[in-house]
């Protein structure tokens, strides 16, 4: 995924902001244009402290190799990772749980003033879209704003979003009015059990 908005939260984003196909030749050309005609060596920092972080690093390493991007994976204990590596090294892995709303997710990680803006991507246009989406009461108009934000992040942003974790739950058939919440947290205020 080239953007951080899961299809579960905004179904139209999958149609309007498709996942780009891998283009090794274009990646090689971009590297050559940037002064790396023989490829580039980079270090990707990760930790075994959270499920999926090392696997994400290894997957990126394998996918980047054909383009001439040689990835050295540097593992760090979780006890020091968040203080010494995350948001301090040039290229590192993290993973996030889904946020309760698109606004919260974008505001916390992609707004120019966000404390956890991991890629340090700053865009007045993205900031405007985030703020505009937050203020828009019409659901369809707000969705269109967030689709524009997803497109901008897909084309210009600095994060790699390889996947969204599936959320799985089960309930007894007598449970009524249960809705799966995108953060895997539960709101039982309107749930009831049929006798």
Cα 133 vs. chain centroid, distance in angstroms?
18
DSSP-assigned letter for residue 65? G
Q: What is the 3-state secondary structure (H, E, C) of the chain?
A: CCCCCCCCCCCHHHHHCCCCCCCHHHHHHHHHHCCCCCCEEEEEEECCCCCCHHHHHHHHHHHHHHHCEEEEEEECCHHHHHHHCCCCCCCECCCCCCCCCHHHHHHHHCCCCCCCCCCCCCCHHHHHHHHHHHHCCCHHHHHHHHHHHHHHHHHHCCCCCCCCCCCCCCCCCCEECCCCCCCCCCCCCCCEECC
What is the second-level CATH architecture of the domain 12-193? Roll (3.10)
Q: Nearest-5° angle of CA 12, CA 13, CA 19? A: 130
Q: What is the pLDDT along the chain (195 residues), one digit of tens a residue?
A: 578 888 877 888 888 998 889 999 999 999 999 999 999 999 999 999 888 999 999 999 999 999 999 999 999 999 999 999 999 999 999 988 777 788 988 999 999 999 999 999 999 999 999 999 999 999 999 999 999 999 999 999 989 888 877 777 888 999 999 887 666 667 788 899 998
- Which are the contacts of 191, defined by CB distance < 8 A and separation ≥ 6? 175, 176, 177, 178
Please give the model's pTM, rounded to 2 decimal places: 0.82
In 3D space, the residue among 53, 35, 34 whose CA is nearest the CA of residue 45 turns out to be: 53
In 3D space, the residue among 87, 52, 86 whose CA is nearest the CA of residue 161 turns out to be: 52
| CA contacts within 13 A on the Cβ side of 158 | 16
The strand pair at 192-193 and 69-75 is best described as unpaired
């Amino acid at each position: 995924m080239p953007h951080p908005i899961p299809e579960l939260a905004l179904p139209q984003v999958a149609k309007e902001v498709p996942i780009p196909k891998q283009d090794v030749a274009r990646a090689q050309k971009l590297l050559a244009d940037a002064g790396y005609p023989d490829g580039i060596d980079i270090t990707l920092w990760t930790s075994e402290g959270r499920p999926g972080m090392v696997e994400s690093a290894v997957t990126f390493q394998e996918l980047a190799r054909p383009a001439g991007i040689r990835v050295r994976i540097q593992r760090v204990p979780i006890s020091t990772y968040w203080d010494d590596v995350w948001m301090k090294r040039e290229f590192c892995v993290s993973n996030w749980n889904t946020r309760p709303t698109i606004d919260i997710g974008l505001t916390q990680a992609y707004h120019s003033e966000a404390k956890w803006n991991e890629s340090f991507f700053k865009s007045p246009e993205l900031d405007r879209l985030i703020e505009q989406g937050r203020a828009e009461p019409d659901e369809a108009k707000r969705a269109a704003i967030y689709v524009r934000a997803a497109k901008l992040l897909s084309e210009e942003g600095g994060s790699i979003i390889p996947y969204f974790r599936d959320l799985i739950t089960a309930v007894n058939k007598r449970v009524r009015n249960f809705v799966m919440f995108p953060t895997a947290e539960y709101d039982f205020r309107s749930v009831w059990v049929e006798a």
